[in-house]
Structure formats: C-alpha cells, structure tokens
Amino acid sequence: MEVRAKKALGQHFLTDQDIARRIVGALQGSPVLEVGPGMGVLTQYLDNTNLKVVEIDKESVAYLRKHFPELGDGLIEGDFLKMDLGSVFPGQFSIIGNFPYNISSQIFFKIIDNRDLVPEVVCMIQKEVAERIAEKPGTKTYGILSVFLQAWYDIEYLFTVGSGAFNPPPKVQSAVIRLTRNSRTSLGCDEKLFKTVVKTAFGQRRKTLRNSLKPLLAGRPADPVFDLRPERLSVEDFIDLTLRLTP
C-alpha cells in the first residue's frame, strides 16, 4: 500500500533515507510532535516512547495505522493549524516535520503563537523560505517571517536537499533548518503593534519607513531611522521603532 501524493495538500514524500536520518539526527529535544508524517519516513527513526504525530490526510493515517501500530493513540488525525497545542503534551515539546510548502508560513505563525510550549523545531521547507527565515538584516530576502521568527528563536540553516530526494520531485529545492527558542521572554513593547509595524513596513519594502509607515507616523518628530528601508532594521530596531510609535 502506497499513499498517493495530493497536490491540494502540498505533498512531496521524502524517499531519501540518508536525508531522513540526518533530519531526525538534528533534533535534540523530547517529547516530539511530528507534523505531517505521510508514510513515516521520519517517524521510523524517531523514538516512539515520547512521540505523537498529526496527519490530516486520511490515506496517510490509514497507512500509518497499518505500518506503525506502536503509535497507538499517539497518531492524531487532524489539522495541525487547528490543534490546541497545549493539549498535546503536559509540558514543552519539540516539533519535527517535512512541512507542506503551501502552508509552511502558517505553521510558523502557529509555532510563534505557542513559543513557550515549543523550544525547538527541526523542519524541511522550501529552500527560498529557509534562506529568508535565517537571513540577517540588510539583504533583499530578509522580511516579515525573518523578523517574527528571529524575535523568539535562533535560526540555523542546516543543509540543502535536492528535488531528487522526493516523490514526486518538487520544482524547487528544499532545506532543513533548526529553530531554538532564545532567551527573550517579552518584546518589551506592544506585541500587536509590533506585528502591525513589521507587516506595514515590509508591505511596501522598496519605500523608506517614512513613506510605508506614514499612517502611523502622524505628528511624530523627524528621525533618521525613518529614512531607512525595512530590511535594514534588526528585531531590536523594530522593537525600538514600535516603542516610539506607541500612543
């Protein structure tokens, strides 16, 4: 029994066993929640004593029940994006997975919202997205997701994976990254306003902050930082900017 890859779910099944072992080997914490195990190419190398997996595809769930009966109640049929992560384990847990490209950003936003539960993430995503997440300020690829994730996690770009490692092969390259929760417990500013400032700034990234943030700058004194484009600002710079814009 093989599971048919479904385009609507963004499925590309990893078939390279060496890559699978390297991904699992990069994971340091326990217990573990695997997102989208598919046919279990990562699952087979994970310690199942403290493991849960969540899979939305009914065909994959049936495959996993047959081939990984030891998962038992640890196999959760459902949508990771709709899960209450606080109910998965009694405390903190690591996340691992070959994330579907079409929802990887949504998965990361879910993780950010549950950052105090998730100290570590090892995942495979589209190479372009991985580079963007790991990028430092001052480059064209640095953007919204870079700032939001780097505010709470240290990002490591581990290795690149070619399209030949999958069935069906994706049209793009992939990459594996590791997110490790940093020591920040609070932004020290209004988090909702912080998100608005970052999204608004990068919404018109070719413009200076003076132009892109014009609706938020009414009545603010002139400041050299407003002459910069958003990709020049670090997480700390955005926090400082948010504080200046707080009513």
pLDDT tens by residue, 119-145 = 999 999 999 999 999 999 999 999 999
pLDDT at residue 11, as a whole number: 56
Chain segment 17-31, per-residue pLDDT in tens:
999 999 999 999 889
In this structure, the strands spanning 32-35 and 51-55 are: parallel
Share of the chain above pLDDT 90, in %: 80
Higher-confidence residue of 106 and 170: namely: 106
DSSP letters of the chain? --PPP-GGGT--EE--HHHHHHHHHT---SSEEEE--TTTTTGGGS-GGGEEEEE--HHHHHHHHHH-GGGGGGEEES-GGG--GGGTSSS--EEEEE--GGGHHHHHHHHHHTTTT-SEEEEEEEHHHHHHHHPPTTSTT--HHHHHHHTTEEEEEEEEE-GGGEESPPSS-EEEEEEEE-S----SS-HHHHHHHHHHHHHTTTS-HHHHTGGG-TTPPP-GGGGS-GGG--HHHHHHHHHHH--
pLDDT at residue 102, as a whole number: 86
Show me where the domains of the chain are located: 7-181, 191-245
* Fold (topology level) of 191-245: Helicase, Ruva Protein; domain 3 (1.10.8)
Cβ neighbours around 11 below 10 Å, total: 24
Q: Which of 44, 34, 179 is nearest to 98 (CA)?
A: 34
pLDDT range class, residue 215, cuts 50, 70, 90: confident
Over range 110-124, report the average pLDDT: 97
Q: Which two tokens stand for residue 202?
A: 């990068």
Over range 196-205, report the average pLDDT: 94
pLDDT at residue 238, as a whole number: 97
Chain segment 130-189, per-residue pLDDT in tens:
999 999 999 999 999 999 999 999 999 999 999 999 887 888 899 999 999 999 999 999
pLDDT at residue 9, as a whole number: 47
Q: Which CATH class is domain 7-181?
A: alpha beta
Over range 55-81, report the average pLDDT: 95
- For residues 28 and 213, what is the distance between their CA atoms, to the nearest angstrom? 41
Residue 7 has pLDDT above 60, yes or no: no
